[in-house]
Structure 1
Amino acid sequence: MSEPLAVGTVLVPVDGSDESVTAVEYAVAIAEKYDASVHVVYILGEEVVRAIESGSVDDDAVAAETDAFVERTAEIAEESGVEANTSTAYGFSPTQKTRHPGSAVLDCAESVEADFLVIPREPTTDGPGELLERAAEYVLLYASQPVLST
């Protein structure tokens, strides 16, 4: 007989897409069921990272946009009485060849000691969802935690 699943932290990577909001809703439902917390990590894609590195985009504008989205996800958790923590990670590095959106997710999962991952996989539109679609493939292959791909 196997041990029941113990979940203390549910990690959900987001990228500002509608699919990310859906993934947060699933993560909050799982956290509710297991009396766990949710950690939302906003993954910055290649285009944004390159713009930040080159100085062609205002860092404050990027921070304000990600903060607004992360605040929206925290409200979803709060409405359900689930504790939510947040962070931001680069899903791309112009100097580190092994930096991939999926590796950023798994690094964050290790850092926050996540027991369960919820990640969007099937974007319905072109745009930022593509970032997490690529990350999901990687996470599904290499995660040591249970993964729900939405």
Structure 2
Amino acid sequence: MYEHILVPTDGSDVAEAAVDHALDLAEKYDAEVHALYVVDIDSVNYSLGTEQVDRLKQGRFDEMGELKEQADEATGVVAERGAERGVAIVEHVSGGRPHKVIGDYAENHDIDLIVMGSHGRAGVRRALLGSVTERTLRSTHVPVLVVDYLDED
């Protein structure tokens, strides 16, 4: 049923809960998991210079220091957990508007299912869904499994 599962991640607790669901499904269906970290160009536009934003748009993340470290850490968690469970993982970092990058990635990589958190690190939690999750649901034809995270503390 599922051969390629996409899990967008920002390293937040709710994203990591989505990773667990994606890996469970990947084990069950012998699927490959794609871990995608999206640098939101609109969010970083104000804190970075024009040259750095241009690098992000071109996909040149190796020169981005802290942003690159955050991206590598977030997708690295998926890769580590996948390796522990024998699941093939593809790591990818991209820049742009997150919902658009997620939708384009899904379309261009024959993704069968997107598994994502109900909200991420950025902003105040909305009543139902985070803006990236909501926009992804509205802008793709790929099925989306939305995972929430309940803090046990």
Q: TM-score, length-normalised on structure 1?
A: 0.77
Q: Is 1:49–1:90's contact at 8 Å kept on the other side of the alignment?
A: no
Counterpart of 1:87 (choices 92, 101, 104) is 92
Instruction: State whether residues 33 and 87 of structure 2, in contact with CA within 8 Å, keep that contact through their aligned partners in structure 1.
Output: yes
Letter in 2 for 1:9: H
The C-alpha deviation readout for 1:28-64, integer Å capped at 9, x for no partner, is 1111111101001001123335544536797122212
Task: Name stretches of at least 5 consecutive residues in structure 2 with no aligned partner.
Answer: 54-62, 148-153
Q: How many residues align?
A: 134
For 2:50, the equivalent position in structure 1 comes to: 54
Percent identity reads 30
Q: Is the 8 A contact 1:15 1:128 kept in 2?
A: no
Q: Which amino acid aligns with 2:20?
A: E
Q: Which runs of 4+ in 1 moved over 6 A?
A: none
1:11/1:116 contact within 8 Å kept: yes
3-state DSSP of counterpart to 2:2: coil
- Specify the code of the residue in structure 2 equivalent to 1:10: I
1:1-20 equivalent positions in 2, closer than 5 A = 6-20=1-15
In structure 1, what is the Cα distance between the partners aligned to 2:45 and 2:32?
A: 28
CA root-mean-square deviation: 2.5
Q: Displacement of 1:9 after TM fit?
A: 0.3
Aligned-partner Cα distance in 2 for 1:16–1:42 = 9
Amino acid aligned to 1:144: H
TM-score by length of 2: 0.75
